[in-house]
Amino acid sequence: MGKHENTFRFQDASVLIVDENTGFMDLTAQILMGFGFRKLERRGLKHAEPAAASDPDLIILDPFPDLEAGLRLIEDHRRRQSANAPPAVVIVVTGHTPRPLIEQARRVGADYIVAKPFSANTLLDRILWSTSSVFANLASTEIDAEDAEDAEDDAYRASIQGATAALLQ
């Protein structure tokens, strides 16, 4: 799987966006709606805990300013998910990306860390990458996403990036 995945229909996919910056959260929602997502739940970090009952397909989370609470949210979600079902995709988006944060976020189950500000191209790239078989293989062997990008399926990435790079540069 991978190279033939040229289209997608995310209208039935559920998304949880967690960000203390409501303006940035709204902007992220607008970008995701451009990608076709329609089921969007937005929460501030302080109020994200009750989301335990929800079961999003995609989580986009900025753990600042309460890093501990943000990472716990990811960890709790990963703990709840069934071992036999495909995993939700967790993308951490944040303005401050020191190495310890990246390592902690990966340890608790984040698939990607994307630095704010980001382009729509970058976000879509990560989302589409998460649908590929390479992502599943790497997740199952616990190789982190950055290594995956270096190691696997450059052609698939190029097909997405090549098609879109000119649009937002």
- Interface residues with another protein (CB under 8 A) are 1, 4-10, 12-13, 20-21, 23-24, 26-27, 30-36, 57-58, 64-65, 85-89, 95-96, 111, 116-118, 120-121, 124, 127-128, 130-136, 139, 160, 163-164, 167-168
SS3 for 2? coil
Minimum CB separation of residue 50 from another protein in Å reads: 21
Single-letter amino acid, residue 120: A
Minimum CB separation of residue 146 from another protein in Å reads: 17
SS3 for 89? strand
Between 30 and 47, name the residue whose CB sits nearer to another protein.
30
Q: Give yes or no for a contact between 110 and 74, defined as CB atoms under 8 angstroms apart.
A: yes
Minimum CB separation of residue 111 from another protein in Å reads: 8
Between 10 and 76, name the residue whose CB sits nearer to another protein.
10
Neighbours of 118 (CB within 10 A): 15
Minimum CB separation of residue 90 from another protein in Å reads: 10
Between 71 and 125, name the residue whose CB sits nearer to another protein.
125
Please give the backbone phi and psi of residue 83, each rounded to the nearest 5 degrees, phi first: -70, -20
CA distance linking residue 13 with residue 40, whole number of Å: 9
Between 10 and 51, name the residue whose CB sits nearer to another protein.
10
Q: Are strands 14-18 and 39-43 parallel, antiparallel or unpaired?
A: parallel
Long-range contacts of 139-142, Cβ-Cβ distance < 8 Å, separation of 24 or more: 139/87, 139/111
Between 4 and 79, name the residue whose CB sits nearer to another protein.
4
